[in-house]
Amino acid sequence: MVRPIGFLVGLGFVGVLLWSLLWGAVAYVKEPPVPTAEHEFHEHPKKVDFSFNGPLGKFDRGQLQRGFQVYKEVCAACHSLRLVTFRDLQGIGYTEGQTKTLASEWAVETPTINEETGEPATRKSIPADRIPAPFANEIAARAGNAGALPPDLSLIAKARHDGSNYVYSLLTGYQNQPAELLKQFPDSKTGAGLHYNPYFANLNLAMAPPLTSEGQVSYSDGTKPTVDQMSKDVAAFLTWTAEPKLENRHSTGLAVLAFLLIFTVLTYMAYQNIWRDKKH
């Protein structure tokens, strides 16, 4: 009795699924989706040959340090990096002494009040501190950015599809609106305070181009600081903040594959040895 009931229930589920599929196909044919500016003009991220791409990829420590410098001198004015502590920066090649020096360049508020001014007291950051946010809270962040809330960048490379390429493409993708877009979608004109970028989801974002000219950041290693180079460097750095253990994951994966290969060979040889004299 149970089997027929189970069969009928399963048949009912299949019937509902087929009906939904058929109904959706008919609806699509009768009323196809209306094209939108976002669908027509949104572009997929450019492909960049980062050193950490692929199963054997490794971070370029020099590039990561340049990327941190771009973050520090440009991005940190608006964007936080709340999941990264100063001592974490030893993972990109800085020494313990260098992280102490970097931390001391940032001030952090303490729970105490300055008895003379009544303002929150501050102290120099230490390596154990997280990198301080540029704004005290969301309200202050929005007030300082015309109502827009700059996202935290700690995990941005994981939060966006094809994150490393996305960050690079977004930073280098600012441009004037195409005449063809305005011709097809007259109501899509970029509004005041917004900037056209085909790599952003809705084509317009509140963030002005942060990297605008060569030499905006002075690299100590002699690398030419073009907009393209600075964009690659900070994209690599933000990939590291999102995946600081990426290299360990790659090496662990290769070790597992090697183990499985050896185990498979040994299993096959054992099988042949055991069944060699057996008749099927």
Burial of 168 per CB tally in 10 Å (0-12, 13-18, 19+): buried
Q: What is the DSSP letter of 154?
A: T
89 token code pair: 């920066």
254 token code pair: 């290769």
For the annotated binding site for heme c, the residues are 75, 78-79, 207
Place of tokens 């960048």: 153
90 token code pair: 């030893």
DSSP for 158-213 reads: HHSTTHHHHHHHHHH---PPPHHHHHH-GGGPPPTT-EE-TTSTTSEESSPPS--S
C-beta separation of 64 from 235 below 8 A:
no
Q: What is the DSSP letter of 112?
A: E
Which stretches within 31-145 are classed as H helix?
Answer: 37-41, 61-73, 96-104, 138-143
For the annotated binding site, the residues are 75, 78-79, 207
